[in-house]
Amino acid sequence: MSENKNEILLFAEITKEKFIHTVFFELAQKSAELARKLGDCKVSAILFTEPNKLEDYKDGFLKSGIDKVYVYESEKFENYDTEHYSKLAIELIREIQPQIVLIGATNEGRDLAPRISSALHTGLTADCTDLDINEKGQLAATRPTFGGKLMATILCKTLPQMATVRPKVFPSLKEDILKNTEFILKTPDFSEFKPKTELLEFVKTLENELNELDSAEIIVAGGKGAGSEAGFEVLREFAKTINGTIGATRGAVDMGIAPKCIQIGQTGKTVRPKVYIACGISGAIQHLVGMQDSEKIIAINTDENAPIFEIADFGIVGDMFKILPELTELLKKN
Ligand X SMILES: Cc1cc2nc3c(=O)[nH]c(=O)nc-3n(C[C@H](O)[C@H](O)[C@H](O)COP(=O)(O)OP(=O)(O)OC[C@H]3O[C@@H](n4cnc5c(N)ncnc54)[C@H](O)[C@@H]3O)c2cc1C
According to the binding rule CB under 6 A, does residue 266 interact with ligand X? yes
Single residue of 302, 311, 327, 328 touching ligand X by CB under 6 A: 302
Angstrom distance (rounded) from CA 243 to CA 192 = 47
User: Smallest distance from the beta carbon of 117 to ligand X, in angstroms?
Assistant: 26
User: Smallest distance from the beta carbon of 163 to ligand X, in angstroms?
Assistant: 20
Angstrom distance (rounded) from CA 108 to CA 62 = 24
- 14 Cβ neighbours under 8 A, 6+ residues apart: 20, 21, 47, 48, 49, 57, 77
Identify which of 168, 163, 172 has the alpha carbon closest to the alpha carbon of residue 140: 163
Between 139 and 226, name the residue whose CB sits nearer to ligand X. 226
Phi, psi values for residue 293, rounded to 5°:
-90, 10
User: Smallest distance from the beta carbon of 301 to ligand X, in angstroms?
Assistant: 4
First to last CA, the chain: 63
Q: Using CB under 6 A as the criterion, what x/- string covers residues 91-130 for binding ligand X? A: ----------------------------------------
User: What residues pair up with 299 in beta bridges, in sequence order?
Assistant: 278, 315
User: Smallest distance from the beta carbon of 293 to ligand X, in angstroms?
Assistant: 15
Q: Which of residues 148-187 bind ligand X (CB under 6 A)?
A: 148-149
Between 62 and 284, name the residue whose CB sits nearer to ligand X. 284
Helix and strand element counts for the chain (H, E): 10, 15
Cβ–Cβ < 8 Å for 139, 147: no
Between 96 and 252, name the residue whose CB sits nearer to ligand X. 252
Single residue of 21, 30, 143, 250 touching ligand X by CB under 6 A: 250
Single residue of 160, 223, 247, 273 touching ligand X by CB under 6 A: 223
According to the binding rule CB under 6 A, does residue 267 interact with ligand X? yes
- 243 Cβ neighbours under 8 A, 6+ residues apart: 217, 218
Single residue of 30, 84, 166, 287 touching ligand X by CB under 6 A: 287
Report the length, in residues, of the chain: 334
Single residue of 99, 263, 270, 294 touching ligand X by CB under 6 A: 263
According to the binding rule CB under 6 A, does residue 220 interact with ligand X? no
According to the binding rule CB under 6 A, does residue 291 interact with ligand X? no
Identify which of 61, 75, 67 has the alpha carbon closest to the alpha carbon of residue 44: 67
According to the binding rule CB under 6 A, does residue 234 interact with ligand X? no
Between 182 and 254, name the residue whose CB sits nearer to ligand X. 254
According to the binding rule CB under 6 A, does residue 229 interact with ligand X? no
How many chain residues are in contact with ligand X, going by CB under 6 A?
30
Indicate left, alpha or beta for 127 from its phi (over 0: left) and psi (-120 to 50: alpha): left
User: Smallest distance from the beta carbon of 222 to ligand X, in angstroms?
Assistant: 8
- The maximal CA–CA distance of the chain, rounded, in angstroms, is 66
User: Smallest distance from the beta carbon of 303 to ligand X, in angstroms?
Assistant: 4
Cis peptide before 51 (omega within 30 of 0): no
DSSP state of 6: S
Single residue of 9, 156, 252, 312 touching ligand X by CB under 6 A: 252
Q: Is residue 147 exposed (0-12), middle (13-18) or buried (19+ Cβ within 10 Å)?
A: exposed
Stretch that binds ligand X, among 115-123, 144-152, 163-171, 179-187 (CB under 6 A): 144-152
Q: Which residues of this chain interact with ligand X, rule CB under 6 A?
A: 147-149, 223-225, 249-252, 263, 265-268, 280-282, 284, 286-287, 290, 300-303, 306, 319-321
